[in-house]
Amino acid sequence: MIEKVLIANRGEIALRIHRACHEMGIKTVAVHSTADSDAMHVRLADESVCIGPPASTNSYLNIPAIISAAEITGADAIHPGYGFLSENARFAEIVNEHDIKFIGPSPEHIRMMGDKITAKETVKKLGIPVVPGSEGGITEDEEARKVCKEIGFPVIIKASAGGGGRGMKIVKKEEDLSTALNACRTEAKAAFGDDAVYIEKFLGKPRHIEFQIIGDSYGNCIHLGERDCSLQRRHQKVLEEAPSPVISEETRMHMGGVVAKAMANFGYCGAGTIEFLYEDGEFYFIEMNTRLQVEHPVTEMITGIDIVREQIRVAAGEKLSYTQDMVRFFGHAIECRINAEHPFTFMPSPGTVTQYHPPGGLNVRCDSAVYTGYKIPPYYDSMVAKLIVSGYTREGCLLRLRRSLEEYVIDGVTTTIPLHQELMKDPDFQNGDYDIHWLEKFLEQKG
């Protein structure tokens, strides 16, 4: 059905999508900025089009240039990857208006979930548990005080249009509420062009647990279990694992069933992730991502299901290749995000990679677009590789991960590999005993 896919992204994910396409016999078109002319995805794609100068706003976010590239090359579908235009409902609409298939959910679904207030209201109606907090947006101090009295301090004020860990403020006591509310609204307006904010109970020691789902246009929706993404720095994920060390088989199937049923009723078509905070045995929805996620490979490693392939199938109007009964979970997988940054201060370290040698062996996967001689440009996200390793047990997986990190050579730039190596030695991490605040404390000790 789909014959040629334009990949509207760069780096490892562009390569990841290219690989799925070629395995399906689909041709690929790479688009790139002038800074990425020598990128791996550009070299491997069947065709490539330069869409602008280095700055993302002029290239990877340049909708007219991307649509033109699709028309010139005759691409019949666009895969947006993650980041950039992947959750831009207007982009999805424009793609559809040009009779090109958007590999992702409908623009309406992207729009609803992109606004966190609407998202929360929507999933609540679908039977998914949410974090206690304000019903909708908050503008008046009086309203804010009333909500906080009900739920109790500390609270977190969040921008409805926020994302990427930005636009959040924790408030510990009533005296600080009014100032924080005003600051959050002003910052949200400046950063996202929308000053709508809402209030939630701030959970003290939750884990971040998310469920991968995928639906087709025939009303089917399946879940592929959970990922534990509690290891975060500044609300950004650093390492992810599946299954979560604290979720039982019974809980997985129960909660997975709840989200899959909700999304089937919603009529959701495409891959998506429902994110929860999990504390004292309870799940609290925080947001839904209507796209492929960075950490999707850990789910692929324990299910054997190619999520990008399924995304392409359902976008082409085909049925999912799997029913829920066919989904089997085996072993344990962990992903380390490797950034070109100082491992403990996180100072970016762009530059030329003088030697690149990824680890190999049984159950070791490296998703990266880096090669010896590659110049990491300073304009984009600093993640340069994902090391994903699986094992029969979590213990076995950790042994293999330690060995793989030892083997990984990325010379010429500083990377976060030493941070992951330190993590591997930590008893709490080894025991799976951590919450969303654990990594920040760990880093303070290292600092």
> Could you list the residues that contact ligand ADP (CB under 6 A)?
131, 156, 162-166, 200-203, 208, 232, 235, 275, 277, 286-287, 436
Residue 95 vs 336, nearer CB to ligand ADP:
336
DSSP 76-125: SEEE--SSTTTT-HHHHHHHHHTT-EESSS-HHHHHHHHSHHHHHHHHHH
In the complex with ligand ADP, the residue whose CB is nearer, 80 or 391, is: 80
CA 197 to chain centre: 22
CB of 195 to ligand ADP, least distance (A): 16
Q: 203 vs 308, which CB is nearer to ligand ADP?
A: 203
C-alpha–C-alpha distance, residues 211 and 271, integer Å: 11
C-alpha separations of 26 from 73, 285, 309, 311, 389 in Å:
14, 36, 11, 13, 28
d(CA 254, CA 440): 31
Toward ligand ADP, which CB reaches closer, 165 or 378? Answer: 165
- Phi and psi at residue 110, to the nearest 5°: -65, -45
CA atoms of 158 and 117, how far apart (whole Å): 9
The residue among 247 and 320 lying less far from ligand ADP, judged by its C-beta, is: 247
To ligand ADP, the closest distance from the beta carbon of 26 in angstroms equals 31
Taking the C-alpha atoms of residue 274 and residue 123, their distance in angstroms, rounded to an integer, is 10
d(CA 433, CA 87): 33
Catalytic choice (291, 313, 337, 400): 291
Distance in Å, CB of 401 to ligand ADP, minimum: 22
Q: Nearest approach, Cβ of 335 to ligand ADP (angstroms)? A: 16
What interhelical angle do 177-192 and 141-151 show, nearest 10? 110
- Residue 361 C-beta: closest distance to ligand ADP, Å: 32
> Position 63: which residue type?
I
Closest distance of CB 313 from ligand ADP, Å: 28
Determine the Cα–Cα distance for residues 390 and 242; give it in Å rounded to an integer: 9
Calculate helix-pair angle for 116-125, 107-114, nearest 10 degrees: 110
Q: Taking the CA atoms of 146, 150, 154 and 159 in sequence, report the sign of the dihedral they define.
A: negative
208 touches 226 (CB < 8 A) = no
Q: Phi and psi at residue 96, in whole multiples of 5°?
A: -60, -40
Q: Which is nearer to ligand ADP, 68 or 236 (CB)?
A: 236
291 a catalytic residue = yes
What count of other Cβ atoms lies within 10 Å of the Cβ of residue 403? Answer: 14
Q: Which is nearer to ligand ADP, 274 or 364 (CB)?
A: 274
Report the C-alpha gap between 178 and 166 in whole angstroms. Answer: 20
Roughly how many angstroms between the first and final C-alpha of the chain, as a whole number? 53
Residue 156 or 260 having the CB closest to ligand ADP: 156
Closest CB 63 distance from ligand ADP, rounded Å: 22
The minimum distance between CB 119 and ligand ADP, in angstroms, equals 10
- What's the token pair of residue 269? 């078509």
Active site residues: 291
